[in-house]
Amino acid sequence: MSGVSRPDAHSERGPILVSACLLGLPTRHDGGHCRRAAVMEMAQQRQLIPVCPEQLGGLPTPREAAEIASGAGADVLDGRSRVVNRQGEDVTSRFLRGARIVADLAQLLGARQAVFKEGSPSCGVTRIRQAGSDVGGSGVTAALLRREGIQLDGIE
Ligand code: SF4
């Protein structure tokens, strides 16, 4: 009898979470994508799971761009900061919800690696945007995945 093989949670051959926009899916706030050839090539070698934390959190596409008001993703996780869109709306709860869903998905599927888009208030690994400038730090989902021991690689 054939069955579904479960990935080994600790295997380097397990699935990898990928920012959906890097695979060419039109999930960006402006309805566009950030397809990257290097990520498309990874799909030939590894099982990739596209995720968009902002969509999973319940935000529409297109949507207003948003920023972490101060600090970085870990500050949002700990309640010290919030995420606000260009209209001034507080979208923190959506960002937290999306982050939790992605972390739960990683657990469910045994994904221990993620390749995420730099600069995003959700996915940024080492860099986010604040008030028109690049600042060091992770987005909300990246910060949560790091806390859960998932290896993160950022793609510009
Ligand atoms: S939240 Fe992440 S996956 Fe979604 S569009 Fe932004 S960078 Fe891409």
**14 Cα: distance to centroid of ligand 1 (angstroms):** 22
Q: How far is the CA of 123 from the centre of ligand 1 (A)?
A: 6
Q: pTM for the complete prediction?
A: 0.92
CA distances from 100 to 4, 88, 106, 141 (A): 25, 23, 10, 8
Query: Which protein residues touch ligand 1 with a CB less than 6 Å away?
Result: 19-21, 27-28, 52-54, 117, 120, 122-123
CA of 91 to the centre of ligand 1 (A): 15
End-to-end CA, the chain: 44
Written as tens digits, the pLDDT of the chain (156 aa) is: 333 443 343 446 799 999 999 999 999 999 999 999 999 999 999 999 999 999 999 999 999 999 999 999 999 999 999 999 999 999 999 999 999 999 999 999 999 999 999 999 999 999 999 998 999 999 999 999 999 999 999 999
Residue type, 75: D
Greatest Cα-to-Cα distance within the chain, rounded to the nearest angstrom: 57
Q: In the chain, what are the domain boundaries?
A: 16-155
